[in-house]
Chain A
């Protein structure tokens, strides 16, 4: 009885577009879905630091190096901020990281692709951060208060990243023939994996139903993907790059671009661990975690000694 009443109140709030806050009652499924989604988002920010991080020491100018360093720090900050949001649901960061390590929690498949050239760094900012923004702007209206506020804060920085990435691509595309080739190659390799970031088609998406009903998600995978395609195609044209999709065409009737088939077999493979860099990313995260254990222990031991001294004094 009690539960039914609470559920009614909860759904009334959702329907009225009020935010759910940490202390409010919420169905266990709502909590679980949020933990899965927010932690996946947090892990993506953190694992996403690795592919670009590859290029800090090789960035081709001091200015490019500073921008890249700052961007990667922003992503780490987003990760921290999202871990905190997730902790309001009653789970600790240690547990979340444990779930990443044992494979229970996932991160975005895009970060399992290698960043091979400097153009890939530009393409990531342009495409991957560009895709992230579309998703995150939509999530600013998510029903869970802490998650919604995190998205508002993060979106501003993501749009800087997108512009900086596009600037790199523009310089390459309008540069020497070798640079242009580098840019086109990056677009060819990263376009399709970027489209996969939005997840399976609505008809095949396991989690969309309740998530939409509870307004965790506000728009479907396909809606978001379409918005991303529509804004990005023109940006490629402006700098003279060609989209690696011969079926990509403006559909005047539907007022949107039609696109070719996404290789969902590849998506499944990469989600389930068999992408080019899954092992490398996880090994690196585990290695840093293990090698840092003695440092974390030292900090804890030192802090405990300080508390003791204070008590004695």
Chain B
């Protein structure tokens, strides 16, 4: 694998994580508990999809085959998507969405802080621009963890169930392959193992403050680094790509 191939693949991973989570959050439109929250969730969707545009555009540039960010989003089959399994999980109830966001934003916060120092100037620039948004996403998720965990008996139960249900998707966030090896050597990205301890510490603190319990189950899902996803991704892709697939010669 060349450095260029590794960088392309890495950008797909970053871009797909943003795009697919943005897609999921956008599904909350007109479904949230109050309008303010409807706007908060879809605003985060806007941030994430906006970020995916920047990253996929760069991916296309690195790939050098004349593709656009839209080609990469709308014409790639499901086996060539590299987002983490966590972000494609269905929204569930509000607690599931918050826990998913909390796990992911905590991870993104640590990752993008490092990417700001990347030797790849484009990625460093995107990271610098996006870090403020990630901080807001993390604060939003953390505030809700506290409210749900320490709110009513029902919200406590739902939050704990969501933590337990999402837990098996957390190890994969830190998985690495040849792509990471190459890019770490180049100073483009970081060793994800180095983020893990910090991630665990941060989420443990919030979970305890929320009067919830850190799950102890050790079974963990894996597959996305090879483009192997949960069954949910296919539906997301089908919905997202339908117009471009149905009218291949049209411009929108």
Query: A61: CB under 8 A from chain B?
Result: yes
- B171 contacts the other chain (Cβ, under 8 Å)? no
Given contacts A118-B243, A288-B33, whether A69 and B49 have CB atoms under 8 Å apart is: yes
Q: Indicate with 1 or 0, residue by residue over A53-97, a CB within 8 angstroms of chain B CB atoms.
A: 100111111111110011011001101100000000000000000
On whether the beta carbons of B243 and A60 are closer than 8 Å, the reply is: yes
Whether A53 contacts B45 by the Cβ 8 Å rule is no
Instruction: Say yes or no: A73 contacts B39, CB within 8 Å.
Output: yes
Q: How far is the CA of A298 from the CA of B240 in the complex (A)?
A: 34
Task: Enumerate chain B residues within 8 angstroms of A50, measured Cβ to Cβ.
Answer: 30
Cβ–Cβ contact A292 & B33, under 8 A: yes
**Is the Cβ of B151 less than 8 Å from the Cβ of A301?**
yes
Determine if B23 and A66 form an interchain contact, defined as CB atoms under 8 angstroms apart. no
- The answer to whether A66 touches B53 (Cβ under 8 A) is yes
Number of interface residues of A (CB under 8 A): 46
Q: What number of B residues sit within 8 Å (CB to CB) of A?
A: 49
Quick check: A58 and B242 within 8 Å, CB to CB?
A: yes
Considering only residues 267-303 of chain A, those with a C-beta below 8 Å from chain B are 284-285, 287-288, 291-299, 301-302
Contact between A299 and B151, CB atoms less than 8 A apart: yes
Contact B243 A298 (CB under 8 A): no
B150 at interface by CB-CB < 8 Å = yes
Q: Which residue on chain B has the smallest CB distance to residue A45?
A: B35
A sample of 25 cross-chain residue pairs with beta-carbon separation below 8 angstroms, ordered by A number, consists of A56-B26, A56-B45, A57-B239, A58-B242, A60-B243, A61-B244, A62-B49, A66-B53, A69-B26, A69-B29, A69-B46, A69-B49, A73-B46, A80-B39, A168-B252, A176-B247, A288-B33, A295-B37, A296-B33, A297-B151, A297-B155, A298-B154, A298-B155, A302-B147, A302-B150
The 3 closest A-B pairs by CB, nearest first: A292-B33, A298-B151, A298-B155
Residues in A lying within 8 Å of B, measured CB to CB: 46, 49-50, 53, 56-66, 69-70, 72-73, 76-77, 79-80, 118, 168, 171, 175-176, 178-179, 284-285, 287-288, 291-299, 301-302, 305
Given contacts A69-B46, A298-B155, 18 further A-B contacts (CB under 8 A): A46-B35, A56-B27, A60-B74, A60-B250, A60-B252, A61-B74, A62-B52, A62-B73, A65-B49, A66-B46, A66-B53, A118-B243, A175-B250, A178-B247, A296-B33, A297-B155, A302-B147, A305-B150
